[in-house]
Amino acid sequence: MSPTPATRDRRTMSAELHPGAGARGGGARLTRRRLLVGAGAMAGAGVALPSAAGAKRRRPRRRVVVVGGGLAGLTAAYELHRAGWDVAVLEARRRVGGRVHTLRGFAGGQTAEAGGEYIDTSHTAMRGYARHFGLALDDLRRVGSDNPAATYFAGRLARRSTVQTPAVQREMDRFDRAIAALADRLNPTDPVAAGASLDHRSVASFLDGLRLSPTARMLIEHDTLGDDYTVESDRLSLLAVAAANSVGPDIPESGIEAFRIRGGNDRLPRALARAISGHVHLGAPVDHVSWSREGVRVRAAGETLSASRCVLATPLPPLRRVSFSPRLPGRLAAAIAELQYGVGTKTLLQYANRFWLRAGFSGDTLTDLGISTTWDATNAQRGGRGILLLYTVAGPGRRFQELPDHQRLAEAAAQVQTIYPGASGLLGAATTVAWAKEPYTGGTYTAFAPGQVDRFWRVLRRPVGALHLAGEHTHEYWGYMEGAVRSGRRAAARISAGG
């Protein structure tokens, strides 16, 4: 199965459109893979936690506690509820969705995604659940502008093709083919079996061996790797990238990030929560889990729930603040403590008009400024206004996320003004989300460091006693909304089968 090309757009948070890839400049993006303020708590989704005494009185034999109300947890709870289990979802935030977070409150009713954004053509689970709940998808291959993507390097705004020339593209294709050759050796569900030796190499060392031109290397580092995986290439496992490119059907247009849910991606987690209304508890951070083979006791917001099974469906960083009794097995405990997550900030600036279109560009811009990458977050939405999304990741993202919000917004607006003089006078609403600074998230999504696929891939996919794990970090579609949904469905199936 030959992946094409060797990129996975994590714009789930995101990657940049390559001109001539068969998708429109302002619409869909051809990639190999990828997630990333006004939506308040969902009316009717949150209910008070049952008291410990109440839980004791009516403790059912078929109860499952799900920790985390993002896509993975809600999918698991929904499928278990359909199968006849009593479920309780414990979500620390005052909203459902986790890293799927639609921003509202912009002028003209426009929306933008602070987190998971794009749905690939190959993401059948996401598309299936959207269809099941009657949620329309915007097909980005049929909307937006035909204007080309841009670059802003060394003070010059130009078409992407002026930097990514045919000669440079051939070098980038060589990188794609080299990764594809590695991917062809792997079993997508267990890449460790055939690829353990790749795991101890960084992608940077692999690039060194390809002897690329400085321009090709820069584009691959900055765009294909930085934007897709949200960490620097010397911090990223070669096996992780090869494994990511071994996933998905080998069909035309596989891996095109073609869709968003019309009206906001958070409509899916909201629909899942409504379908199990009364079973989702908001503002309920878990701080202790007692577990055995027979069952669990989970403490949240001062109350303790008992159940026969538990699905841990949060990102791993928040689990570092949860105590487990007895302690978790060593390899799983190490995964929770050490697994690397990416660095990424989304900054959204609403302007009175879409001046980037008037300048002859789609809004997709790769820059050497601190903001990294931009695109039009509203290319499928009506109105003269537009929201430019700035995606700042990896090295630049580490500095950017440390700034206070007001300083981050000011710097972002100033850099857009540098690229498009006059933009500042058109600026309206603005907001920014740094995912590594979100206490119940801790990063963008999984970004396996060298050595971590070998150590953690398998343990993240195995139940431990009554504990099951779900989330993008536990699935071969890691880093995607698709992986979250599939992992939740898999956890539900295992529990229903007696696991």
Contact 334, 455 (CB under 8 A): yes
User: What pLDDT score does 467 carry?
Assistant: 99
Q: Helices 124-132 and 481-496, interaxial angle, to 10°?
A: 80
Contact 269, 135 (CB under 8 A): no
User: What pLDDT score does 499 carry?
Assistant: 65
3-state secondary structure of 436: helix
Which residues of the chain are under the pLDDT cut of 50?
A: 1-60, 250-253
- As its CATH architecture, domain 52-100+266-328+464-496 has 3-Layer(bba) Sandwich (3.50)
Task: Name residues whose C-beta falls within 8 Å of residue 76's C-beta, 6 or more positions apart in sequence.
Answer: 64, 66, 311, 313, 470, 488, 489, 491, 492
Q: Within 10 Å of residue 309's Cβ, how many Cβ atoms?
A: 27
Contact 225, 237 (CB under 8 A): no
Q: Which of 140, 133, 368 is nearest to 266 (CA)?
A: 133
Contact 183, 246 (CB under 8 A): yes
The C-alpha angle 129, 29, 480, rounded to 5 degrees, equals: 40
Q: Within 10 Å of residue 136's Cβ, how many Cβ atoms?
A: 12
Please report, for the chain, how many H helices and E strands are present, in that order.
18, 22
Contact 389, 344 (CB under 8 A): no
Q: Could you report the per-residue pLDDT of 74-131, keeping only the tens digit for each?
A: 999 999 999 999 999 999 999 999 999 999 999 999 999 999 999 999 999 999 999 9
Q: Which of 19, 11, 221 is nearest to 99 (CA)?
A: 11
Q: What are phi and psi of 145, to 5 degrees?
A: -105, 150
User: What pLDDT score does 141 carry?
Assistant: 87
Q: Under CATH, what is the fold of the domain 29-34+102-259+341-437?
A: Polyamine Oxidase; Chain A, domain 2 (3.90.660)
Q: Which of 62, 100, 95, 54 is nearest to 80 (CA)?
A: 62
* pTM score: 0.89
Domain boundaries, the chain: 29-34+102-259+341-437, 52-100+266-328+464-496
